[in-house]
Amino acid sequence: MNNRSGEKERQEPERTVRTEPVFQGRLISLQVDTVELPGGKTATREIVRHPGAAAVLALHDDRLIVVEQYRKPLGKMQIEIPAGKLEPGEDPMETARRELEEETGWRAERLEPLHAFYTSPGFADEKLYLYAAYDLSRGTFAPDEDEHLNVDAITFEQALAYIREGRISDAKTIMAVQAWRLQRLTGSFV
């Protein structure tokens, strides 16, 4: 429907009528919401609640610091940039700093925010914060007890090959590689 200025009117947002908690886990929760749509009809929405996460694009000697680990939902090994979930009340930059050192053994003197994005807004509220790391030095490698990580430093060409091969297939790492491409072309990650 158009208004007098010729612009489309914004539809009313969905109004939550009922929320049914389904599952509460260590990492996520699942709820089913009944919503009222514009016009009065109702629908259901399955929603995954997640505390958010932070990830780090860390370059050392023009190589991307990555971890390789088994991802059970995919049933295969994946190469990814270091990342982890936000602890309650934790600043995303501190999460990024902590995860970089724990997962890779590298420490950043400085972090700069690059992007923040929702991973799957159709069904989840997880927001991921991506940072660029600067002035790296050796720190302490201390992965969580249930993490089995292989740390590597890959070239830009390797990163592109791993994307083609599907060894890198998660959005945060592909986004980091694209930011790296931009940095190589323009001198800036954004």
Closest to 129 measured CA to CA, from 53, 64, 180: 53
Point out the residues that are catalytic.
145
CA 106 – CA 156 distance, rounded (Å)? 19
Tokens of 152: 């590597």
User: What are the C-alpha distances in Å from 157 to residues 32, 129, 160, 177?
Assistant: 44, 25, 5, 10
Residues in the chain: 190
Buried b (16+ CB within 10 A) or exposed e, 55-88: bbbbbeeeebbbbbbeeeeeeeebbbbbbbbbee
